[in-house]
Every structure is written in structure tokens, then in C-alpha cells.
Amino acid sequence: MIPEEVLKALNKQLNSELYSAYLYLSMASYFDEKGLGGFSQWMKIQAKEELEHAMKIYDYIYSREGRVVLEEIKAPPREWSTVSEVFKQALEHERNVTRSIHQLVDLARSLNDKATEVFLSWFVEEQVEEEKQFSEILQLLELAGETPQSLLLLNAKLGERK
């Protein structure tokens, strides 16, 4: 069985992953409204990945005889002033998720819950990739600026994500 403290923290993380999907879907909507379908496509795929992360936690909880508790998901922002602002917020959000995952690992370790610690190692590695992706896009935006030409080029590049 899973320790109660770990179960509570995993449920909180599951809900955080669902919020992440909600946030990225809101960002996709923002991009669709701006006519930036490539950016939107990229964020929709990101939202789908976050749902997959939530389901990994969901399945793990039940594999350890726990119970999933779904909480209310707050509404994400809907407006941003620039494309760069969207990616700055997304990067900061991913950094917060990383901190949360690390706290979960520390909790599992402190309670000698080796199964959860091993399970979370995938998420630790995933967060490195998540932060890297958002950081690289943000660097490109800062390097190229937000001219119509640079946005169109990046929009095409991001639209290639499958």
C-alpha cells in the first residue's frame, strides 16, 4: 500500500498535471485567435502530453491500492500581451511542476517508499525535457523578436510537431 502522505501528494500532482493540460489548451486557444495555428498545434500536443502524465499518476495510484481524488481545476489565464509572454509563463509553470516533482521524490525518499521514488524518476527526466523545450522556443523568440516574419517562420516550425 501507498503511504497516506504520498497518496495525498500524488493526488495533488495529478490535479496539477490536469491544470497544466488546461493551461496549455488555453494557450492554444489564444494562438488560434491570433491566427497562429502552428503555435496552437504545438500547445495542443503539449496539453495532450500533460493528460498522459496525469493518467500515469492515476494508474500508479490504483496499482498501489490508493484512491484518486479529483479536485476543482481553476480557470487558466486567457490573455497574454505577446507570444513571448505565453512562453515565459509556460516555462515558469514547468519550473514549478519540476519543484513539485522534486518535493514528491523527497517525500517518498523520507518515507522509504522506494516504489514511488522509482516511479517518479520518469517524471524527473521528463521535466528536464519539458523545461528545455519551452526555454529553446523562448530563446528563439527573444533572438528573432516578434516581427511578423519571425513569428510566421516559428509558427511553421512549431506546426510540424506531431
Question: In angstroms, rounded to a whole number, what is the distance separating the alpha carbons of residues 16 and 13?
Answer: 5
Question: In angstroms, rounded to a whole number, what is the distance separating the alpha carbons of residues 66 and 51?
Answer: 19
CB 73 within 8 A of CB 22: yes
The highest-level CATH class for domain 4-158 is mainly alpha
Instruction: List pLDDT tens digits, range 80-89.
Output: 999 999 999 9
- The residue extents of the domains of the chain are 4-158
Task: List CB contacts of 71: < 8 A, sequence separation 6 or more.
Answer: 11, 15
Instruction: List pLDDT tens digits, range 12-55.
Output: 999 999 999 999 999 999 999 999 999 999 999 999 999 999 99
